[in-house]
Structure 1
Amino acid sequence: MIVVCGCLHFYGKVEHRTELMFSPSTKAAWCLATFLSVFVTGEIPIHAEVEPEFLAPLENHTVTQGRDVHFTCVVNHLSNYRVAWIKSDSKAILAIHTNMVALNPRLSVTYNNHNTWKLHVSNVQANDSGTYMCQVNTDPMKSQMGHLAVVIPPDIVDTVSEGSSAREGGNVRLACSATGVPPPAVMWRREHNKPIVFRHDGGRERKVVEVHKGESLDMSHVQRSDMGAYYCIASNGVPPTVSRRYHVQVHFIPQVKVTNQLVGAPLGSDVALQCYIEASPKAMNSWYREDSLVSDKLLENPKFRVTETIVNEYSLWMNLTIKSLAPSDFGTYVCASVNALGKMESQVSLHRLELNGFPDEPLVSGAAWQRARNLPARAHPASSHAQYSLAQRLPPQLYALMLTALRYVTTF
């Protein structure tokens, strides 16, 4: 009886210490087992304390640099033991309970006064990557680990672009390197999705692509069509994707072409002379009159008007409009373009167009005008009155074409 009562008294202590709740029948069974143990061995068994246990694994995190993150460690039955946080790869103790050991203002620990501890890392940096351990100082110690991976968006390193300009037929090299975690992939695209052309040594096309992968872009035997903007684009799955613009300049001597070398127009009319120019680097363009001894650059005035229409960065249309043609306006006009590599020009011969018997003479091309003026007299219609009536009813251009055709028919 004394042993049984002692058993109940001891159990009451164990119950109070461990804060466990048992039913009366369980208590009786425990005491009976204790009594039998004492009867056989002569020793009273001591009930072991409940060991601390982790209720959930420590999580893994992947975080973008500059953001905040925390690890959560949940431990039951901690009793008088303590929770410590350790950086496994460096073996550095970061905190014990809520007391910080590491001298890092970006680290902190919070406790909910029950069973949950949190290690907070603010403004995460690349060197925060690694394995973190939540440890309980039992014997042997208990711990669990979680991994922190810090990812960094791509960034293009400032580099000098080598060979971003070249003479036509030369070589161009563009270089672009990028940093980031994980290492970013780099590719090249042209502005407006124009094709990137790679050529053989002879200048023949070898490969045409929209995207070129790699940190460098090497183009040989470049042509003027390769001129323009190229983008280096870096991405590693961590937003945002970044890009940098590089410009390729291809230099060549100006090329000048006029649409018509012979132009005919009647007195008093307005006439437009057209000229197409390609040049790089930028050229100085002009129209001027060419006589036997005198060359005068034509400046903007009420008589002459020069307009430019840009086609792309190396080509344009330059038009010369001459108003109210006078006899002195007929002659040779020169479209000229000059840059650092050379000069090129092309001529237009402006002739007076005469259609006998008509006060209103339409504008026709130089070739048609020459063919018409060389026809014999019998090619002209008999009745000038009929011609004048027809001219009044038809547009001048259409009438001129019909008249030329009629002269050919009557000639043959």
Structure 2
Amino acid sequence: MIIILIIFLSLIQFSSTDQILRANIGQDVTFSCFFENESQIDQLSFMHQTTGDILSVGLELFLDESLTTNHMKLIRLSSNRLDLKIFQVNQNDSGLYTCMFNDEKLSSYLLEIFIPPRFISFFPLEASVSYPEGSSINLSCHAYAFPSVNITWIYRNKDKQLKTIHNGEDIYISSLESTDSGSYECIASNGYHATISRSFYVTVQYPPRVKIDKFIDFNIRPIQIKCEICSIPLSRIEWFRNGINIINEQYFIIKTNAIIVDDKNCLSSILIIHDSPHEKYGRYECQAENFLGHYSDHIDYHSKIIPHPKSGNEQFALLILLNNTNEISNSSLSLYQLFNTYILLIIINLLFFL
């Protein structure tokens, strides 16, 4: 048994005399066998050494009848040449073929079937997926081809700017950031066939980022408080004054529009405060919420309290204080000026209580 195995393995060893034939799936391939004289043809045989199958002896094929004319055929071209032709080769036809005269090898062919790339698995299955910020993600593309394929990953952001980020079947991101949103494309190529690709669009979801513009001139009417909200998905926005929800009414108007901030889809909400019999002083809060959380920002609108002097002495002290304050704000501070201002404040407080 061992001797038979050794003989068999010796038959299938590739040698330098083997002719290499390469073909794509679906092409036709011909193996030619040359011999010395016509009387030898009955002792000729074609073998598929890789599978151990004897394909023919003499001019007779040993195949299933359905394959004899559709897949393989013996063609005698001359008195000393016999061809074995395989029509529309497939992956199972690859391997070593020999033409034998009794035990003598007359010719041998190593048939390599080139298989164009095709995906055998990929993840995720959907073309578009969403993940919360901070979560991990694994993208994978597995492809088969002969020769084997190389997998390259290309990332494209919202501006269609692209860069190569990985070579290999799998890509892993341990903690997603909002800037990771974009298209991830895996490209499979083997240098012989057309490349194939698979794209995944990843959307990174995050809770609202809320920011109120604090540089507001409350002397300009109507007063406008601007709030900028960025989030995925978009948030529900509400305004509050001193903790009480504000709705559109006579003195309050809320306008919300879509804007782009740092390449992100955001919202701009503007609270417009119209003149009313009573000033709408208080704390104004812009609050946004989506399923990942709710956040807010606020600004305080207060009246400017200016003391009203009761006597001439108070008027004189207040005038000195205001003059000194202006001098301090328009020049470099000194310990002497700070001491004088501190004394004047004490004098004014004493005058108010007299």
**Quick check: 2:118–2:143 contact (8 Å CA) kept in 1?**
yes
Query: How far is the alpha carbon of 1:166 from its aligned partner?
Result: 5.4
Work out which of the residue numbers 203, 206, 212 in structure 2 matches 1:258. Answer: 212
Correspondence list, 1:245-324, <5 A: 245-263=199-217, 274-280=226-232, 282-286=233-237, 288=239, 290=241, 293-296=244-247, 305-310=255-260, 315-318=265-268, 320=270
Query: Residue type of the partner of 1:227?
Result: S
Task: Quote the residue 1:69 is aligned against.
Answer: 29
Give % identity.
Answer: 23
Once residues 337 and 85 of structure 1 are traced to their aligned partners in structure 2, the CA distance between those partners, rounded to angstroms, is 78
Q: How many residues align?
A: 278
Task: Quote the residue 1:184 is aligned against.
Answer: 149
Point out the structure with the larger strand share: 2
**Quick check: 2:238–2:246 contact (8 Å CA) kept in 1?**
no
RMSD: 4.3
Query: Residue type of the partner of 2:120?
Result: V
Query: How far is the alpha carbon of 1:251 from its aligned partner?
Result: 4.0
After TM superposition, the runs of 4+ consecutive aligned structure 1 residues lying more than 6 A away are 348-351
Once residues 139 and 34 of structure 2 are traced to their aligned partners in structure 1, the CA distance between those partners, rounded to angstroms, is 55
Larger radius of gyration between Structure 1 and Structure 2: 1
**Quick check: 2:247–2:254 contact (8 Å CA) kept in 1?**
no
User: Which 5+ residue runs of structure 1 have no aligned equivalent?
Assistant: 1-56, 196-209, 352-369, 375-407
Which whole-Å deviations, capped at 9, do the CAs of 1:313-339 have from their partners, x for residues lacking one?
8642425496xx9535x9687544211
TM-score by length of 1: 0.53
Query: How far is the alpha carbon of 1:308 from its aligned partner?
Result: 0.5
**Quick check: 1:176–1:216 contact (8 Å CA) kept in 2?**
yes
Once residues 265 and 95 of structure 1 are traced to their aligned partners in structure 2, the CA distance between those partners, rounded to angstroms, is 102
Q: Does 1:229 align with 2:183?
A: yes
Task: Quote the residue 1:150 is aligned against.
Answer: 113
Once residues 293 and 234 of structure 2 are traced to their aligned partners in structure 1, the CA distance between those partners, rounded to angstroms, is 9
Residues 311 and 177 of structure 1: is their aligned pair in 2 closer, same or farther, counting only changes over 3 Å?
farther
TM-score by length of 2: 0.61
Query: Residue type of the partner of 2:51?
Result: S
Once residues 230 and 161 of structure 2 are traced to their aligned partners in structure 1, the CA distance between those partners, rounded to angstroms, is 23
Which whole-Å deviations, capped at 9, do the CAs of 1:65-97 have from their partners, x for residues lacking one?
333322233456435634432212333222345
Which whole-Å deviations, capped at 9, do the CAs of 1:102-127 have from their partners, x for residues lacking one?
22342222233555433222232222
Once residues 79 and 100 of structure 1 are traced to their aligned partners in structure 2, the CA distance between those partners, rounded to angstroms, is 18
Correspondence list, 1:12-411, <5 A: 59-75=19-35, 77-79=37-39, 81-82=41-42, 83-103=44-64, 104=67, 105-113=70-78, 115-136=80-101, 141=104, 143-161=106-124, 167-191=132-156, 192=160, 210-263=164-217, 274-280=226-232, 282-286=233-237, 288=239, 290=241, 293-296=244-247, 305-310=255-260, 315-318=265-268, 320=270, 327=275, 335-347=286-298
SS at match of 1:345: strand
Task: Quote the residue 1:398 is aligned against.
Answer: none
Query: How far is the alpha carbon of 1:255 from its aligned partner?
Result: 0.7
Once residues 73 and 234 of structure 2 are traced to their aligned partners in structure 1, the CA distance between those partners, rounded to angstroms, is 66
Which whole-Å deviations, capped at 9, do the CAs of 1:218-246 have from their partners, x for residues lacking one?
22343222233322333333423223233
Once residues 49 and 262 of structure 2 are traced to their aligned partners in structure 1, the CA distance between those partners, rounded to angstroms, is 61
